[in-house]
Amino acid sequence: MKRDVYCGQVIKEQVGRQITLCGWVASWRDHGGVVFVDLRDRTGICQIVFKPETGKVYELGRSLRNEDVVVVTGELILRQPGATNPRISTGEVELIAAQATLCNKADPAPFLPSSHEPVSEDVRLKYRYVDLRRRPMTEALIFRHRVTKLMRDYCDEHGFLEIETPILYKSTPEGAREFLVPSRLSPGDFYALPQSPQLFKQVLMVAGMDRYMQIARCFRDEALRSDRQPEFTQLDLEMSFVDREDVIALVTGLIRRLWSELLQVQLPERFPHMSWQEAMDRFGVDKPDTRFGMELKDVSETAAQTDFAVFKDAVASGGCVKMIAVPGGGTLSRKQLDELTAEAKQFGARGLAWIKLGGDAGAGNMGGPIAKFISPALQQTLRTATGAADGDLLLAVADKREIAWRVLGELRLKLGRTLGLMNESSWNFLWVIDFPGFERDEATGKIIARHHPFTSPLDDDLPQLESDPLSVRAKAYDLVLNGVEIGGGSIRIHRREVQSRIFSLLGISPEEAEKKFAFLLDALRFGAPPHGGIALGMDRLIMLMLGRQSIREVIAFPKTQSGTDLMTQAPSPVEPAQLADLHLAVVGLPPHGQAVPKHAAAEKQP
RNA sequence: GGGGGCGUAGCUCAAUUGGUUAGAGCAUCGGAUUGUCGAUCCGAAGGUUGCGGGUUCGAUCCCCGUCGCCCUCGCCA
């Protein structure tokens, strides 16, 4: 071991001692007689001074360039007064080089980790090892380590066992599209990579493990987003003999500890709970951002009395009219309103009605194309119902309930962002509970499980499972932070007859259920305790804790939006012999050897 | 699969209405410089304007195609 101390951790107490530092040249300044080198490692930076009287060591110091790797030994001294650098933690000391070894001369880096200039993301991803030397990235990985460590400690203190579950798993084509892995030993058969360890953790409860946790990798072959990767990490939990509030209390405690120890923020002992129904009615989404108001108001009754046909027809045909009041929105231009309308149409609305309060129409009046259809008395009712005043803007959607929720929910978020209504420094946690257990698939008309088919219905709603399945609520819960879903879970079904009723409701025949979930159904027969759990999205959680804009900023080696790894060039073609071993043939593409990896086509010739 | 944005030197960006030899900062290379810390000064080198085609006397600029990255809808808890 060459190193005595990390660059960022040398302290004044070590002044006068001979110490050895190892690291990368973060910057160099040659003043002819004296050369300064900033040496960087994962902890920070320490200034090295090379002086002419050291001969060869000085000459080596002069030759150092950015990102060279060196080991330097020398005396740590206090800097001269006035020569200190308050911008780095070690700015009051410096190392006078007495010996130095150049471990590896570096080629000029594609970009400099110490530069303040932003670098385009594809370049960063291609040279990720350089990118990870940048302070924000190093800090993100260190922070991530602290989060997982704390989670493991917390779970350990609460009696959880960390148990690994298989990555090579059985295909269960419910939910997201799966990644498949061909089996060499069973020609023609495939494993799937798990979307989550859901069924294994339930089986572990049947096995009597009582409390299971895992920092689990999950795989989903779906479109990517700034908050979605094809492989991502969850804190996966499952507990036996618990009910909803037990899981919620445990996770609340974990989150409070994370915020307290890693962010020095004290969160309330209990996070607000909100039913799914209330979330939709007030915010239009099942993961409300409660950092600002502008809530949805149902004005169907009033709207039906107006002379505006769109409103009357919507209500008459079983739909509704919902509004949001945009504070100060009266100043929006016609162009901006047109853009909002276009946005509304993108989310499924046929149109967007708007009313300006006061302004050109005069104090206490309403303006805009539909104002004339609303009598003064009804105008007053709308003002009261929406809480809007002169200078504000009312946006209205008249449609089916689901469309009105969606459109106004999305517009609310967009306007909240652009108008700067959100308090960026607040942490609004929220448990959303009482989700509907089932919904109707728009395309097929079939009843489908909203969460997954092993979610237990609320005991009170069980009697109406067959008569009115869409009214059945589930023992499911989501944890929402500032409008982002960071976790979700449920109490599971532990009785086989209830599971059978659910399968039958979902149109899954006993034979089909047997084929897909035999092991789980077996397990439920052989002594299943009541159990439930939750999974927290690690990547999103850490992204939010650090205030980053994308989960790629908290993942060491993320993939691009097209699922490629720019550093390793995965995925890539494989040798014909490999395919033959797996009894696979690639069809529908140019013959092997002509097929060029998509991302390689634009590569420049060397 | 649909919509949008971007692509110029190793990196970050300029380049008038389509007009002469495509510029700057940082990095790199050479030189100067004994207290800097985003060092400074002098000099040099560095370009198939992602790729292919088209329009034009002339294309970084306009058009078509294609590849890549990002955002977004669908999709996905």
DSSP assignments along A336-402, one per residue: HHHHHHHHHHHTT-S--EEEEESGGG-TT-EESTTGGGS-HHHHHHHHHHHT--TT-EEEEEEE-HH
In a domain, A558, yes or no: no
For residue range A469-489, list pLDDT tens digits in order: 999 999 999 999 999 999 999
For residue range A265-300, list pLDDT tens digits in order: 999 999 999 999 999 999 999 999 999 999 999 999
Assess whether A272 and A306 both reside in one domain: no
Assess whether A230 and A268 both reside in one domain: yes
Radius of gyration of chain A (CA): 30
A33 CB less than 7 Å from any atom of strand B: yes
Q: Are A497 and A547 within 8 A, CB to CB?
A: no
Q: C-alpha distances in angstroms, A157 versus A154, A160, A214, A254, A400?
A: 5, 7, 14, 11, 49
A152 CB less than 7 Å from any atom of strand B: no
* Helix (H/G/I), strand (E/B), else coil: A27: strand
Dist. CA A310–CA A564, nearest whole Å: 48
CATH code assigned at A100: 2.40.50.140
Assess whether A144 and A267 both reside in one domain: yes
Alpha helices in A101-243 (DSSP H): 121-126, 128-131, 135-157, 198-206
A562 CB less than 7 Å from any atom of strand B: yes
Rounded mean pLDDT, A128-132: 97
Which of residues A418, A450, A471 is at a domain's end?
A: A418
In a domain, A584, yes or no: no
Angle of CA points A422, A280, A331, to nearest 5° = 45
Print the domain residue range for A214: 138-277+427-553
Rounded mean pLDDT, A25-41: 96
Assess whether A273 and A143 both reside in one domain: yes
Quick one: tokens of A392? 């504000």
Q: Could you tell me the distance in Å between the CA of residue A105 and the C1' of nucleotide B40?
A: 26
Dist. CA A535–CA A518, nearest whole Å: 24
Global pTM value: 0.93
Assess whether A201 and A148 both reside in one domain: yes
Q: Could you tell me the distance in Å between the CA of residue A89 and the C1' of nucleotide B37?
A: 13
A177 CB less than 7 Å from any atom of strand B: yes
Assess whether A273 and A302 both reside in one domain: no
Q: What is residue A327's predicted lDDT score, i.e. its pLDDT?
A: 92
Assess whether A452 and A533 both reside in one domain: yes
For A391: left if phi > 0, alpha if psi spans -120 to 50, otherwise beta; the answer is left
Closest CA to A194 of A212, A220, A174, A175: A220
Which of residues A553, A574, A591 is at a domain's end?
A: A553
Q: How many domains does chain A have?
A: 3
For residue range A429-480, list pLDDT tens digits in order: 999 999 999 988 877 778 888 888 899 999 999 999 999 999 999 999 999 9
Contacting residues 210-229/A vs strand B (CB within 7 A): 220, 222-226, 228
Residue A602 has pLDDT above 70, yes or no: no
Residue with smallest Cα–C1' gap to B12: A117
Q: What count of other Cβ atoms lies within 10 Å of the Cβ of residue A495?
A: 12
H-helix or E-strand containing A66?
Answer: none
Assess whether A347 and A379 both reside in one domain: yes
Q: What is residue A424's predicted lDDT score, i.e. its pLDDT?
A: 85
Dist. CA A211–CA A160, nearest whole Å: 5
Which of residues A60, A84, A104 is at a domain's end?
A: A104
Which nucleotide across the nucleic acid strands is nearest to A63, CA versus C1'?
B29
The overall longest dimension of chain A from CA atoms, in Å, is 94
Residue with smallest Cα–C1' gap to B1: A223
Q: What is residue A363's predicted lDDT score, i.e. its pLDDT?
A: 87
Residue A603 has pLDDT above 90, yes or no: no
Assess whether A523 and A474 both reside in one domain: yes
For residue range A569-600, list pLDDT tens digits in order: 999 989 999 999 999 998 876 543 333 433 33
A130 CB less than 7 Å from any atom of strand B: no
Residue A314 has pLDDT above 80, yes or no: yes
- A515: confidence class by pLDDT, cuts 50, 70, 90: confident
Q: Quote the percentage of chain A above a pLDDT of 70.
A: 97
Q: Could you tell me the distance in Å between the CA of residue A100 and the C1' of nucleotide B48?
A: 44
Assess whether A217 and A323 both reside in one domain: no
Q: What is residue A125's predicted lDDT score, i.e. its pLDDT?
A: 96
Q: Quote the percentage of chain A above a pLDDT of 90.
A: 79
Dist. CA A397–CA A321, nearest whole Å: 6
Assess whether A143 and A252 both reside in one domain: yes
In a domain, A148, yes or no: yes
Q: How many residues does chain A have?
A: 606
Rounded mean pLDDT, A505-517: 86
CATH code assigned at A539: 3.30.930.10
Looking at residue A88, the DSSP 8-state letter turns out to be S
In a domain, A131, yes or no: no
In a domain, A313, yes or no: yes
Q: Could you tell me the distance in Å between the CA of residue A178 and the C1' of nucleotide B66?
A: 30
For residue range A325-384, list pLDDT tens digits in order: 999 998 888 888 888 888 888 888 888 999 999 888 888 899 988 999 999 999 999 999
Looking at residue A474, the DSSP 8-state letter turns out to be B
Q: Could you tell me the distance in Å between the CA of residue A220 and the C1' of nucleotide B24?
A: 46
Closest CA to A230 of A551, A542, A559: A559
A417 CB less than 7 Å from any atom of strand B: no
Sheet holding A429-433, edge to edge: A161-162, A211-219, A231-240, A531-537, A484-491, A476-481, A429-433, A273-275
Dist. CA A120–CA A113, nearest whole Å: 13
Dist. CA A75–CA A58, nearest whole Å: 15
Q: Are A220 and A539 within 8 A, CB to CB?
A: no
Assess whether A478 and A536 both reside in one domain: yes
Rounded mean pLDDT, A121-144: 96
Three-state helix/strand/coil letters over A270-318: CCCEEEHHHHHHHHCCCCCCCCCCCCCEECHHHHHCCCCHHHHHHHHCC
Residue A546 has pLDDT above 50, yes or no: yes
Which nucleotide across the nucleic acid strands is nearest to A33, CA versus C1'?
B34
CATH code assigned at A344: 3.30.1360.30
In a domain, A44, yes or no: yes
Q: What count of other Cβ atoms lies within 10 Å of the Cβ of residue A201?
A: 24
* Helix (H/G/I), strand (E/B), else coil: A462: helix
In a domain, A404, yes or no: yes
Residue with smallest Cα–C1' gap to B73: A346
Protein-proximal nucleotides of chain B (any atom < 7 Å from a CB): 1, 7, 10-13, 25-29, 32-40, 48, 50-51, 66-77
In a domain, A205, yes or no: yes
Q: What is residue A592's predicted lDDT score, i.e. its pLDDT?
A: 35
